[in-house]
Structure 1
């Protein structure tokens, strides 16, 4: 489903105003929804933590009906324990001593043709942070950690934390970005004999190309916690809260131009499309090896909805290529 650019532009300011309301954590546009049933018509989708405690909202915004969606969006991080001697997408990674998530893919850095690991910034941490696969070893103060499972250090990242110029909204200053992504050097992994593949585990195979996502597109992913699951893109979120890090006083972090995925029951046997630890998963168009997104958000203890960034934007912002061959 094509969403007109002029509609997205018209929604930008109302989305900021609505998201500033207590209890609202994001606003987008996509399929109209009632009781988890989707209709082939556009609506403004307002995401709330608790539908029973939602603020009073208008019936229409920018000429479209409004639908209320209960979806407490959080970055997805949690531990796992499987080791991959051949590194590829879908493997669990961990930054010491903070967070765990998913290695989305081994990518090619365009500036020097070196290989690196792609994941989310909130999983890998800031530039210079060391990342391990599958888990970080104990690091008592004054001791030398075991680096056998180290991949290397974060080379660069892009997220709301890197936004320098805030947008004033309702008495606050918002810092927003379209991606939550980072790349990690693989030099230490190579030193310990690991090999690399641009494939994704569980039989997904190598990434063939990157294409832009679209509403109504069916997608699938392989996360380190939930394994292979699938769903459908049902909306494009103009703005959602990014509940990570510590913004400066009077500021809030947000993600802009994100895509909402709703689970496909036939591809999610336990009714869950993602949970904590799936952040960083590469999202593919169903039936293809075309990468369309980088998953970063959802319901931490497991839920039917997830949020991803546009993979074409991730590649552009981090100057990497997912589809590579040597």
Structure 2
């Protein structure tokens, strides 16, 4: 189902004051009934922390919206650490990665190296792609920071762990809203354009509602889902970033939302999976990237992480000047 442009324009006007007031946790256009998904039955989906106590301002705003509206209890959170410890050479996607500077401070901010990508201006240059909150994490990041794979062990960074250096990033570091949480490191070791357990990557594809997807994260491994929403705006707390106003939260707009493919998958992603690439299924398997995973969603904090949030692949390519 094509989404009328006037609906998307109305969505932007609808959500802005509600995010500013902290009344909603997210908003997208997606399948109305996630238990019986129909890509032709869409609605504006408004996510709130507590379905039993929806603020009056949210109810009043939805009553005026020119499209079907459903209110869903869901919160979003970035997924940070606890990945596997296997070293992969040549390096490939779907494996653990970290900036070594954090281990020296006693902190472990780690995640997943999602995919091997090329520089758009110079295809001979290869990068490893992950999230900003994995490779950069705080405002002290700097080009040239050492990146290691796998994550540092209890013994620290071992000889041969280094795979490259932080090259560039995209994230709303000094503003409350943005479109991407991503970073790349310039690789110094051999690499292959494949995802562990999935196989080769052959570029990107535009996403549609209800399409089946998969990701390989360093913590949960291979998981499966389907696209439940598009044009998602979602808020998550980045506690190690500078506050904007009184909050360290950031709202990313234009995102995709994924629902678990149960019972094949119980949770879509968990701590340490941040930075995974999400791939769409076609006749040849899961081989085209639709997005970069950076957060999970659940009914309440502590509940099963049944939903994933990712930035569209084309946005990641544009913001980082890369190509899958």
- Classify the TM-score, shorter chain: 0.7 to 0.9
Whether contact under 8 Å (2:174, 2:242) holds in the other structure is no
Match among 118, 135, 155 for residue 108 of structure 1: 118
Structure 1 runs, 4 residues or longer, greater than 4 Å off: 137-140, 299-302
Unaligned runs of 5+ in 1: 164-174
Corresponding residue number in structure 1 for 2:69? 66
For the structure 1 residues 49 and 237, does the alpha-carbon distance in structure 2 shift closer, same or farther, using more than 3 Å as the test?
A: farther
Whether contact under 8 Å (2:174, 2:244) holds in the other structure is no
Corresponding residue number in structure 2 for 1:196? 191
Q: Deviation per CA, 1:126-153, whole angstroms, max 9, x where unpaired? A: 333322111125799xxxx645312222
State the 1:256 CA deviation: 0.5
For the structure 1 residues 212 and 162, does the alpha-carbon distance in structure 2 shift closer, same or farther, using more than 3 Å as the test?
A: farther
Matches within 5 A, 1:47-196: 47-56=47-56, 57-58=58-59, 59-80=62-83, 81-96=85-100, 97=102, 98-112=108-122, 113-125=124-136, 126-128=141-143, 129-136=145-152, 146-161=158-173, 175-187=176-188, 190=189, 195-196=190-191
TM-score (normalised: structure 2): 0.84
Unaligned runs of 5+ in 2: 103-107
Whether contact under 8 Å (2:232, 2:257) holds in the other structure is no
- Comparing both structures, which one devotes a greater share of its residues to strand? 1
Q: 1:237, 1:61 → 2: CA distance?
A: 20
Corresponding residue number in structure 1 for 2:18? 18
Task: Tell whether 2:243 aligns with 1:247.
Answer: yes
TM-score (normalised: structure 1): 0.83
Whether contact under 8 Å (1:12, 1:238) holds in the other structure is no
Q: 1:266, 1:8 → 2: CA distance?
A: 33
Report how many aligned residue pairs link the two structures: 297
